[in-house]
Structure 1
């Protein structure tokens, strides 16, 4: 079974953080991923995408599940994240495929 980490920003979730964590768990079940852990960062987290990539590498997971696209800066899935994992939004249930960097 492929594995995933959940990711959310506490400043985006606010008081809905427990509900957002449940949405991540439900999306993992629905899409067939073993949710290994949920990583929570805030607006004050230094280099959040670098830190998330390190966690993905260390845990050896295949995907990142977020409550919604708003948990990324500018509401865009970072290209650097797609280099290492599939990205799934719990709502509305979109999936972005992993892209492989081509060597030149």
Structure 2
């Protein structure tokens, strides 16, 4: 068992644009603040085929506990439920938020 939980950074180049380097710094900082060891940052583009599936594959391969992204815009503005079933999702902006592995249960309970 790992002593420190592991996170993966995630961003899309087309969403970050000129702010990509800043977004990567923010991901590293947020991982440290939350107590995660950042294993890597996965970067995809607008032309990447099924980026959410590819990200889930990385999460599973690294047995990551969390994904940290600059914002939900990197997921087309929505919480990716299939990802959140695997690990926690943390976003930095517009305000810091965490979506836990229980998201699907909360979603069903609230009917939203």
TM-score norm. by structure 1 comes to 0.92
RMSD: 1.5
Distance 1:98 1:53 in 2: 13
Query: Which structure has the larger Rg over C-alpha atoms?
Result: 2
Q: Which residue of structure 2 aligns with residue 55 of structure 1?
A: 58
Query: Structure 2: which 5+ runs fail to align?
Result: 106-112
* Contact 2:12/2:43 (<8 A) preserved: yes
Structure 1, 55-64 or 85-94: larger mean CA deviation: 85-94
Task: Please list every run of 5 or more consecutive structure 1 residues that lacks an aligned counterpart in the other structure.
Answer: none
Counterpart-to-counterpart distance in 2, 1:6 and 1:61? 10
Equivalent residue number for residue 18 of structure 1:
21
Greater mean deviation of Cα atoms: 17-26 or 83-92? 83-92
Aligned length: 101
Q: Could you say which structure has the greater relative contact order, defined with CA pairs below 8 angstroms and 6 or more residues apart?
A: 1
